[in-house]
Amino acid sequence: MPAIANPSLLILLHHHHHHHLRPRRFATALLPQTLLSLLSSSIRAPALRAHSTSSSAQTQPLSTDNARTGRSGSISSPPVQPDIAQKIDINPPKGTRDFPPEDMRLRNWLFNNFKEVSQLYGFEEVDFPVLESEALFIRKAGEEIREQLYCFEDRGNRRVALRPELTPSLARLVIQKGKSVPLPLKWFAVGQCWRYERMTRGRRREHYQWNMDIIGVPDVTAEAELISSIVTFFKRIGITASDVGFKVSSRKVLQEVLRGYSVPDHLFGRVCVIIDKMEKIPIDDIKKELRSAELSEEVIEELLQVLSVKSLEKLEEKLGTVGEALVDLKQLFSLAEKYGYADWIQFDASVVRGLAYYTGIVFEGFDREGKLRAICGGGRYDHLLSTFGGDNIPACGFGFGDAVIVELLKEKGLLPELSPQVENIVCSLDQDLRGTAAAVASILRQKGQSVDLVLENKPLKWVFKRAARINAQRLILVGSAEWQKGMVGVKILTSGEQYEVKVDELE
Ligand code: HAM
């Protein structure tokens, strides 16, 4: 530890011990150019002070007065046209969210887990515009998602929509890439989606969705891999197989029943969409809708019976033959054993999902207490690319929202405690040294250390309070007596240890 040359700073520091702060590691970094060379231009340079940056004056003409006083919270109305001021609603539009820092920390934590898991599985990140042409989302199957579309005409008279999901955009991009990309593609994305939904717990008008999709693999090995990645995600954030599970089925079960009764294939998507509403609307209404899709009473009864099946053995009995549906499902369950997540999944024929484009395996993540809506959902959509005019490329994937999972983490007491993180707080003890404090901050930042620089003249007590609030690990005080020797005062806030050190020896 460097020698203590002058006690004045240390006496000041001594009165403020903050032992409750958590310790952290300090990065050791390269020595920068010497402090004095860096400082020589800035010691007396008021340009370092916030108020004289001309760019902010240009971009925010109304706030220059305020910026010059360096005070916040004292915005005075502009002198011209004072009566145009009007009160705005300070809430975001219904069903949408702001992300203040504490919420943004949670969101970043969640998204980092999404991204890290995707990368763990070798997926590459992609993104698409939030605004797409409306036609991309119009399917004729009577899906709920169509009714919930945020769509409008833009200034160029084009019909556009805020995307309600990412899958159509992904299909569009795959087709656009054409033969230039070798298959399979393993892509993931985290993006905001918009649906004009009735608001319930975990359902909003805007949500972020994590998607992982595999394009070009016809085998259920792809679905098995996707479910494995979600299981890995759950485990990472502390959720176990006793908290959640996946209900798995295949739309081929319904398809086999429909084909058995010679129902034309073009009705398939529509029938699936109707059946998906079983839990939401009365069974008589479901039957009515199925009748209007030209299904006979006999087919309807048979469909409803098959949907109640909860085991593969029963399903085999019911279908009488081992068709594609059973082959796929059996292979998926045997792969689940190999992966080691068999206890997370169960067969449930009632899972159909509400999107028209699924063709094979479908699955949904659910909480075992049954309190929340689906946590995530996905499946195989082998014909979506061809319906958009692309080649007939098999594909499957899932969407995982950012809302229900947070509700679940709350229920289970698993929400992480995330505090702001900054390594240093740097403060000058008198006004004349503010530029110097800025230079000290610059040196630390060049070494990769984060710094919260105190930008105003504040009493030390205030600085300590702020340090605790932002969770700073170290306080660097710039005082004139020490500064004359090129030194600053340091207090390690986690241990209370304090000393003086030459600026270029700061690590
Ligand atoms: P989805 O089931 O409509 O599927 O949505 C997937 C997930 O997004 C849901 O399970 C839920 O976590 C979340 N979600 C959906 N709507 C809302 C909402 N209004 N508020 C909050 N969260 C919501 C799809 O969107 C498919 N495109 C997923 C997919 C990708 N299939 C294949 N690849």
Across 245-269, average pLDDT: 95
pLDDT tens digits for range 430-442: 899 999 999 999 9
Kindly state whether residues 437 and 398 are assigned to the same domain: no
Residue 59: predicted pLDDT: 35
- Single residue among 378, 412, 446 that ends a domain in this structure: 412
Q: How many angstroms is it from 103 CA to the middle of ligand 1? A: 21
The residue type found at 487 is: M
Across 144-148, average pLDDT: 94
pLDDT tens digits for range 447-470: 999 999 999 999 999 999 999 999
Residue 388: predicted pLDDT: 95
Backbone phi, then psi, for 206, in 5-degree steps?
-140, 135
Of all atoms in ligand 1, which is nearest to the CA of residue 378?
Answer: 31
Q: How many angstroms is it from 355 CA to the middle of ligand 1? A: 10
Is 170 among the domain residues?
A: yes
Q: How many angstroms is it from 376 CA to the middle of ligand 1? A: 6
- Single residue among 361, 391, 412 that ends a domain in this structure: 412
Is 128 among the domain residues?
A: yes
166 in a labelled binding site: yes
Please tell me the residue having the least CA distance from ligand 1 atom 5: 399
Residue 354: predicted pLDDT: 95
Is residue 114 scored above 90 in pLDDT? yes
Kindly state whether residues 240 and 383 are assigned to the same domain: yes
Q: How many angstroms is it from 210 CA to the middle of ligand 1? A: 9
CA proximity to 247, closest of 136, 130, 345, 178: 345
Q: How many angstroms is it from 159 CA to the middle of ligand 1? A: 23
Q: How many angstroms is it from 434 CA to the middle of ligand 1? A: 51
Residue 80: predicted pLDDT: 62
Kindly state whether residues 354 and 441 are assigned to the same domain: no
pLDDT tens digits for range 328-364: 999 999 999 999 999 999 999 999 999 999 999 999 9
Q: Domain total for the chain?
A: 2
Is 25 among the domain residues?
A: no
Is residue 76 scored above 80 in pLDDT? no
Please tell me the residue having the least CA distance from ligand 1 atom 30: 398
Across 240-261, average pLDDT: 96
Kindly state whether residues 449 and 395 are assigned to the same domain: no
Residue 306: predicted pLDDT: 95
Q: Binning pLDDT at 50, 70 and 90, where does residue 12 land? A: low
**Residue 442, domain CATH:** 3.40.50.800
Instruction: Decide: 378 in ligand 1 pocket, CB within 6 A.
Output: yes
Instruction: Decide: 359 in ligand 1 pocket, CB within 6 A.
Output: no
pLDDT tens digits for range 370-398: 999 999 999 999 999 999 999 999 999 99
Is 162 among the domain residues?
A: yes
Instruction: Decide: 397 in ligand 1 pocket, CB within 6 A.
Output: yes
Kindly state whether residues 374 and 344 are assigned to the same domain: yes
Q: Binning pLDDT at 50, 70 and 90, where does residue 279 land? A: confident
Average pLDDT value over all residues in the chain: 87
Kindly state whether residues 362 and 288 are assigned to the same domain: yes
Please tell me the residue having the least CA distance from ligand 1 atom 28: 399
**Residue 340, domain CATH:** 3.30.930.10
Is 90 among the domain residues?
A: no
Please tell me the residue having the least CA distance from ligand 1 atom 17: 203
Residue 10: predicted pLDDT: 57
Instruction: Decide: 376 in ligand 1 pocket, CB within 6 A.
Output: yes
Give the percent of the chain with pLDDT over 90.
Answer: 78
Is 39 among the domain residues?
A: no
- Sheet containing 424-428: give its strands across: 451-453, 424-428, 474-478, 487-492, 498-502
Kindly state whether residues 260 and 175 are assigned to the same domain: yes
Instruction: Decide: 233 in ligand 1 pocket, CB within 6 A.
Output: no
Kindly state whether residues 398 and 428 are assigned to the same domain: no
213 in a labelled binding site: yes
Is residue 67 scored above 50 in pLDDT? no
Give the percent of the chain with pLDDT over 70.
Answer: 84
Kindly state whether residues 265 and 352 are assigned to the same domain: yes
Residue 322: predicted pLDDT: 87
pLDDT tens digits for range 319-328: 988 899 999 9
167 in a labelled binding site: yes
Please tell me the residue having the least CA distance from ligand 1 atom 21: 203
Instruction: Decide: 230 in ligand 1 pocket, CB within 6 A.
Output: no
Please tell me the residue having the least CA distance from ligand 1 atom 10: 376
pLDDT tens digits for range 395-429: 999 999 999 999 999 999 999 999 999 999 999 98
**DSSP state letters, 257-273:** HHHHTT--GGGHHHHHH
CB-CB contact of 247 with 348 (8 Å): yes
Q: Is 332 left (phi over 0), alpha (psi -120 to 50) or beta?
A: alpha
- Single residue among 364, 388, 412 that ends a domain in this structure: 412
Helix, strand, coil tally for the chain in percent (to 5): 40, 15, 40
Is 49 among the domain residues?
A: no
Is 8 among the domain residues?
A: no
Across 130-145, average pLDDT: 95
Q: How many angstroms is it from 401 CA to the middle of ligand 1? A: 6
Residue 43 has which token pair? Answer: 């010691």
Across 110-116, average pLDDT: 98
Kindly state whether residues 161 and 239 are assigned to the same domain: yes
Length reported for the chain: 507
Kindly state whether residues 405 and 274 are assigned to the same domain: yes
Q: How many angstroms is it from 372 CA to the middle of ligand 1? A: 14
Q: By residue range, what is the domain housing residue 445?
A: 422-505
Kindly state whether residues 285 and 375 are assigned to the same domain: yes
Residues ≥6 apart with Cβ < 8 Å to 334: none
Instruction: Decide: 400 in ligand 1 pocket, CB within 6 A.
Output: yes
Please tell me the residue having the least CA distance from ligand 1 atom 13: 401
Is residue 44 scored above 60 in pLDDT? no
